[in-house]
Amino acid sequence: MVGMEPWECWEWRLLRAATELRGHGFQTCVLTNTWVDDTPWRSLTAALQEQLRSHFRLALESCRIGAATPDPAAFSRALEALRARPQEVIFLGELEENVVRARELGMATVLVRDAESALRDLQEITGIQLQVGAEALPEPIAPEEVAHGYVNIRPGVRLHFAELGRGPALCLCHGFPESWLAWRFQMLELARAGFRVIALEMKGYGESSAPSDIWEYSQEQICKDFITFLDKLGIPQVILVGHDWGGAMAWNVALFYPERLRGVAVLNTPFRPPDPDSDVLEKLGRIPEFEYQLYFQEPGVAEAELEKDIGRTLKILIRSSSPEDRLPFDLNFHRVRERGGLLVGFPEDPPVSRLLPPAVLHYYIQQFQKSGFRGPLNWYRNMRENWSWALSARGRTIPIPALMVTAGRDPVLKPGLSKGMERWIPRLQRGHIEDCGHWTQLERPRELNGILLQWLRQLPPPPFPANSKL
């Protein structure tokens, strides 16, 4: 347990330390001397409190527990709430009198004079090397920490989403083969920046419906469902962020339903208008690293391979581009059919992926066990339909605010493919992360969040207030 007082809490490195210790299994509690604020400025108090509370497992306020530090009663309440003995507690405080009292009670203490030395002391007492510098990962969320929503789109189709925050709606759409939890490093930071973050579980995945028909996964149908999703939530306009297939969808929503988007941001997936003169599947066959998509065409084949051992599949597919995370050889997207599968030759029990710590992998597996890979693979099985739908918008541009984030080491969606997108997307802004593979949100969350937030902060506000009366 770690006690803290509010003022020093605002040193973000100490807040990060609290979160990190919580991740290491510590019970954390913030103990503040505060008052019930019923003034006209109480919304600031509420916002500060809510931010503070989000960093700790427990938040005890003197005005609600009926005792303020250094009153020993305040310490007793904290111990009760934490179900801890003083000897199990580390107390951090800025006021000497509080630290002295805590020490008298038998707690280990840190007198906070500056963050630097406090962190050093904390590391020494806990024996944990805290990653609180600029290189630290953003704070992740866990599935049970956010709200889960469900929308009935039409009979047989419902979409699941995770929701956090208030303000303008920001929808996050994952790709293949993933989960809404792919955005676990983004949700909290985006919500704290003032957005209502809605991370969709895409059709075919987990708790969203997975109808078996292939046409259900055509881009036209997927986009139509997304519009119905917004209608049923009563949200006229959102900012849409997509990755991989979620990115393809995002570009199509921008093209076919631009009025529903305040802006569109896509990771890895480039936008290309369709080529009317060459059949899309033939064209695909000519790009070696897209050959796996042809392997995915025959219903049942890739399902059998990918569903055989879901954990193995995910551990082989979802890995970072760093050398430490490499398997004996790299995934090869060429000549997959010839080799008889995508995962052929990989170890039966690959080492843990840096991108999927055990609890996250466990959640992914559990979600895939619900309806398997058929739905996810069906996204690939509408190539001609998607092509001809795209052709129906031929000549149209995407003039709304847009962001393209490329990843230097994506073996399939290479940055070069995005060259010249400005021709069709005149207001395109760009971000690039060189040392990053395909799983951008998981591999370089800090860099990605920086790029997203910078773009979001300069988005023009809607010309009409969000809650105008019509």
Q: Which stretch binds a copy of itself (CB under 8 A): 128-136, 313-321, 375-383, 457-465?
A: 457-465
Which listed residue (101, 260, 381, 438) binds a copy of itself by CB under 8 A? 260
Q: Choose the binding region for a copy of itself from 115-123, 189-197, 245-253, 406-414 (rule: CB under 8 A).
A: 189-197
Q: Which of 72, 150, 281, 419 binds a copy of itself (CB under 8 A)?
A: 150
Going residue by residue from 47 to 86, which x/- string records binding to a copy of itself, judged by CB under 8 A?
xxxxx-xx---------x-x--------------------
Please give the torsion angle defined by the CA atoms of residues 462, 464, 465 and 470, in that order, rounded to the nearest 10 degrees: -140
Residue 236 makes contact with a copy of itself by CB under 8 A: yes
Count interface residues toward a copy of itself (CB under 8 A).
72
Nearer to a copy of itself, 166 or 326 (CB): 166
Return the number of the residue (134 or 470) whose C-beta is nearest a copy of itself.
470
Q: In the set 7, 113, 147, 276, which binds a copy of itself (CB under 8 A)?
A: 147
The least distance separating a copy of itself from the CB of residue 111, rounded to whole angstroms, comes to 27
Supply the minimum distance, in Å, between the C-beta of residue 416 and a copy of itself. 27
258 binds a copy of itself (CB under 8 A): yes
**Residue closer to a copy of itself, measured from CB, 54 or 123:** 54
For residues 78-113, one letter each, b for 16 or more C-beta atoms within 10 angstroms of the residue's C-beta and e for the rest, the string is: bbebbeeebeebbbbbbbeebbebbeebebbbbbbe
> To the nearest whole angstrom, how small is the minimum distance from the Cβ of residue 443 to a copy of itself?
25
- At its nearest, how many Å lie between a copy of itself and the CB of residue 353? 27
Nearest Cα to Cα of residue 342 among 294, 414, 286: 294
Minimal distance, residue 168 CB to a copy of itself, in Å: 7
Stretch that binds a copy of itself, among 15-23, 159-167, 273-281, 346-354 (CB under 8 A): 159-167
- Quick check: 25 binds a copy of itself (CB under 8 A)? no
Residue 267 CA to residue 447 CA, distance in Å, equals: 12
Q: Which residues, numbered 387-406, are part of the site for a copy of itself (CB under 8 A)? A: 392, 396-400
From the list 130, 191, 355, 448, which residue makes contact with a copy of itself (rule: CB under 8 A)? 191
Residues 195-234 that bind a copy of itself (CB under 8 A): 195-197, 230-234
For 398, the token pair is: 């995407």
What b/e string do you get for 157-194 counting C-beta neighbours within 10 Å, with b at 16 or more? bebbbbbbbeebbbbbbbbbbbbbbbbbbbbbbbbbbe
Residue among 6, 23, 70, 194 that touches a copy of itself (CB under 8 A)? 194
- Interface map 324-363 toward a copy of itself (x if CB under 8 A): ----------------------------------------
CA distance 49 to 449: 23
Catalytic site positions = 244, 380, 438
> Given the complex with a copy of itself, which of 67 and 342 has the nearer CB atom?
67
Min separation Cβ 135 and a copy of itself, Å: 23
User: How open is the CA angle 428-422-195, to the nearest 5 degrees?
Assistant: 15
Nearest distance, CB of residue 214 and a copy of itself, angstroms: 21
> Does residue number 168 form part of the binding site for a copy of itself (CB under 8 A)?
yes
**134 in contact with a copy of itself (CB under 8 A):** no
Closest contact distance (angstroms) between CB of 39 and a copy of itself is 8
Site for a copy of itself in 272-331 (CB under 8 A): none
One residue of 72, 106, 156, 167 binding a copy of itself per CB under 8 A: 167
**CB closer to a copy of itself out of 210 and 400:** 400
Nearer to a copy of itself, 226 or 256 (CB): 256
Q: Contacting a copy of itself (CB under 8 A), which of 121, 163, 244, 443?
A: 163
Q: How far is the CB of 160 from a copy of itself (least distance, A)?
A: 10
